[in-house]
A and B are shown apart, each in its own frame.
Chain A
């Protein structure tokens, strides 16, 4: 019981991070039908941006409040990563729009390799640790065997920040004219243009939103693990992509749900079975779900009444 609750907390934390990254995959797929393989590396890049600015703020500028520093770092990481997302779309994907379907996919793989190599060269190949940020935990209850079920401040911050940003994001997509234009382009780009929507700009905006949520994930990842390396984009990226597919690619609530499920599977498998096979478990369950639900949990079936 105690282990179960503890793993539930850990799994939801990890799942929040996957969910944030998964939104970027699912939105880009929704609007241009492309799997942005570079998205995982954008996430990794954002963690480095967060790391660098965290160190600048705490050591050079001497900000002693970790929470304040984190808040500033989060904003900076979101802004800078958005710029990267915008630039990547502009340079590597837009010129290939209208080309054959695989062209942007190949370009995305290229961007992915470029980003991880760029960070490796610029920051070095070793793991980059942060100074410990927030160490306090709240003991929720103690089990009979003396096992403490605890939630750390870090985990609370991650879950709260994720929830707040997802709420803002949800509001933007559902209620604002920007979000409406974004959904319109997703459903029918040609018609959106006929109604005066600048489709190219809307696609750029999609990349910016996806990258900024990846930056939230990157900052939270850094906070949670306290270490980041140039090849940390790959595995979380693939898992977040898996989450997007599991939830139903193209579906925003699906991406978050898929992220939480993958996070939970991974932590529970590690706790009860074996930590070495946690990724195998996550991907096996994906495969099984997709056999029975090809469009994912919340995805829509391909056929639509027109």
Chain B
């Protein structure tokens, strides 16, 4: 961990316009409010994590950024553009990629076709090159290219979901609980890949996690969400050492 460097980086970024900016966003499911006015920023080159308990609204925020469900109030800006009311597929074309909650692999398509779907935004321009890259990152997928997505194990599906998101060469990568249901060894592997993508390729990552310890250790900055509100924010290190965060999310096994 290069904590010193990351704090410095954050300080530099603070002066610039954020890559992704969420302001006063409220999202409803029918009449039930899920996000109660969320403010959040992700700067270029950062890893930002959002932690919180089950049902806090983390995945809802992730999907609201993509306009599904749509924010009823507030604004979402990406690279200086207001994307609050943009159709989901157009948002995806702005080079934001998401590995969503529940992985959402196309079950009756092969691993190869799933990866092709990931690359369809940029018209398969660098497909072979990118395929090779994700196969290097996830050698397991290479062995399974012709297998149907639905037949993969949970861990393999998670790898495929991340790999599929990487195929579009995103500027901003949204990852929703990449560690969910995975063996500790694979979790470690996935987190080191995220770190590598950020450090080597300069990819900006917004990570939603229940596995708060790993996420905060990895991230430059973090936000804590409780029932639809951001209650705390700070550098990963600060949050990791915060007694409240420790009590709520880190001690007692999680």
Which A residues have a C-beta under 8 Å from some C-beta of B? Answer: 177, 180-181, 183-184, 187-188, 190-199, 300, 304-306
Which B residues have a C-beta under 8 Å from some C-beta of A? Answer: 66, 68, 87-90, 92-93, 97-98, 100, 102, 104, 106-109, 113, 116-118, 120-121, 124, 150-151, 164, 168
Find A183's partner among B92, B93, B109, B150 (CB 8 Å cutoff).
B109
Q: Are B98 and A183 in contact (CB under 8 A)?
A: no
How far is it, in angstroms, between the C-alpha of A191 and the C-alpha of B116 when the chains are bound?
A: 14
Contact residues in B for A183 (Cβ distance below 8 Å): 106, 108-109
Given A180-B113, A183-B106, CB of A197 within 8 Å of CB of B68: no
Given A196-B121, A305-B151, CB of A184 within 8 Å of CB of B109: yes
Dominant secondary structure at the A interface:
helix
How far is it, in angstroms, between the C-alpha of A306 and the C-alpha of B148 when the chains are bound?
A: 12
How far is it, in angstroms, between the C-alpha of A189 and the C-alpha of B109 when the chains are bound?
A: 14
**3 closest cross-chain pairs (CB), A and B:** A196-B92, A196-B121, A191-B104
Q: Are A197 and B66 in contact (CB under 8 A)?
A: no
Q: Are B120 and A194 in contact (CB under 8 A)?
A: no
How far is it, in angstroms, between the C-alpha of A187 and the C-alpha of B149 when the chains are bound?
A: 11
How far is it, in angstroms, between the C-alpha of A148 and the C-alpha of B89 when the chains are bound?
A: 60
Contact residues in B for A194 (Cβ distance below 8 Å): 66, 88, 92, 97-98, 100, 104
Find B120's partner among A180, A187, A199, A300 (CB 8 Å cutoff).
A180
Smallest CB separation, A93 vs chain B (Å): 19
Smallest CB separation, B160 vs chain A (Å): 12
- Of residues B87, B102, B120, which shows the largest number of chain A Cβ atoms within 10 Å of its Cβ? B120
Contact residues in A for B113 (Cβ distance below 8 Å): 180
Smallest CB separation, A139 vs chain B (Å): 46
Contact residues in A for B68 (Cβ distance below 8 Å): 190, 193
Contact residues in A for B107 (Cβ distance below 8 Å): 187, 304-306
Given A196-B89, A199-B89, A305-B150, CB of A190 within 8 Å of CB of B104: yes
